Amino acid sequence: MDTDKFINRSTSYASFPLAGNHYGKRLRASSESSRTDRSDLSQSHTYELLSKLFISISVLIFMMSCTQTPPADKGKTYKIGYMICNSEQETLQRFKPFTAYLSKKLGVRFEAVALDTSDFTKHVDELDFTHTNSLLYVIMNRNNGVDILAAEKSGSLGARVKGLIIASKKSGIKSVQELKGKTMIFGPSLGPTSFMAQLDILMKNGVDPENDLAYYSIPAGSFKHEKVIYGVLFGKYDAGAAPLLDYERMIADGRIDPADFTVLAEGEPIPYCNFAVTQKIPDDFAKKFKEVLLNIKKDDTVELDGEVIKVLERAHIDGYEDVKDADFDGIRDMAKRTNMPPYQRY
């Protein structure tokens, strides 16, 4: 029976004059029966809604438990791998205070680990965060799933850098094409602005380093970028591959005079050194780490070994800038053109 129609008919019958007691009793019984049915239906409907609500809440709690990322483990020591730029001692001197600052801001323990450029990718799976140049980031992003967080700002280009090919003014060399038959010194082979960018420039200008240069060299030991610039200045090499940032710093420190050099070519601007995160770190913790980087101020300090240190000043950094993985596509293209990792063909 259609319950709604039954209720409506009961209501319409009650509006007519009653013909007798027997009919009235039947009508009242019918009305009472209707109210009982309605009550039963209402209770049944309420139970059904509560059951559905309970099931929905249970499913929601289950889904949240599956997707929610765990918080940082305050009892763990997180390792930050710092690529050695000039020397292990210099790198740790720059970044130990920075690491202590991160520990202070995030409430967990961090350990600074200095790693050579050529060894970095061998140890990336032992790390939680990385601090490297842009080429190493591209390699680790492709091979290890490392994700970018922020890029450093330093020098005239901020969060960008570029490579230079320089020659001594005394050499009389004025163009890249004139380097055929000459000698050249490069920086570290995994340096995007001390090797790869200059190799790209040479190839674009029809100079094959293997066949067209008299010979080329990469200095051993520490402070390679400075050795490149001094090697050109003192005439040991006809030309050199130097990062703009190191060239600018040596000028600012009064160690070299730009009048003694000819800049033969400049590479395209690319992202500078950067922080990235490995896959083992929860998203919410990586986000907090990034927020600390982006919000650090010039005068922020940390106390380390009884000394109050300005964090950015000690690290030779002006600050950090938000960058995306797509900002490194130019480096990927350059690596492909120059047969560099992670795209080397042979």
Residue 76 has pLDDT above 80, yes or no: yes
Residue 75 pLDDT grade (very low, low, confident, very high; cuts 50, 70, 90)? confident
CA distances from 50 to 47, 171, 293 (A): 5, 88, 48
Residue 66 has pLDDT above 70, yes or no: no
CA–CA separation, 199 and 193 (whole Å) = 10
- 238-291 pLDDT tens trace: 999 999 999 999 999 999 999 999 999 999 999 999 999 999 999 999 999 999
**Domain boundaries defined on the chain:** 3-67, 77-158+272-337, 163-267
Residue 61 has pLDDT above 80, yes or no: no
Write down the pLDDT at residue 176.
Answer: 98
Decide if 192 contacts 331 (C-beta within 8 A).
yes
Task: Kindly report the CATH number that applies to the domain delimited by 77-158+272-337.
Answer: 3.40.190.10
Nearest to 305 by CA among 3, 145, 156, 93: 93
More confident residue, 38 or 291: 291
CATH: 2.30.30.60, 3.40.50.300, 3.40.470.10, 3.40.190.10. Which one for 163-267?
3.40.190.10
Residue 346 pLDDT grade (very low, low, confident, very high; cuts 50, 70, 90)? confident
Write down the pLDDT at residue 53.
Answer: 55
Decide if 133 contacts 189 (C-beta within 8 A).
no
Write down the pLDDT at residue 238.
Answer: 98
Mean pLDDT of 5-31: 35
CA distances from 160 to 163, 170, 277, 319, 330 (A): 11, 30, 20, 12, 12
Residue with tokens 């009961």: 10
Least confident piece of the model among 71-75, 77-81, 89-93, 156-160: 71-75
- 298-307 pLDDT tens trace: 999 999 999 9
Decide if 229 contacts 166 (C-beta within 8 A).
yes
Residue with tokens 């913790």: 285
Mean pLDDT of 203-209: 97
Residue 57 pLDDT grade (very low, low, confident, very high; cuts 50, 70, 90)? low
CATH topology agreement for domains 77-158+272-337 and 163-267: yes
CA distances from 134 to 72, 140, 177, 196, 323 (A): 27, 10, 28, 11, 12
- 127-172 pLDDT tens trace: 999 999 999 999 999 999 999 999 999 999 999 999 999 999 999 9
CA distances from 37 to 6, 25, 42, 45, 117 (A): 10, 18, 8, 12, 81
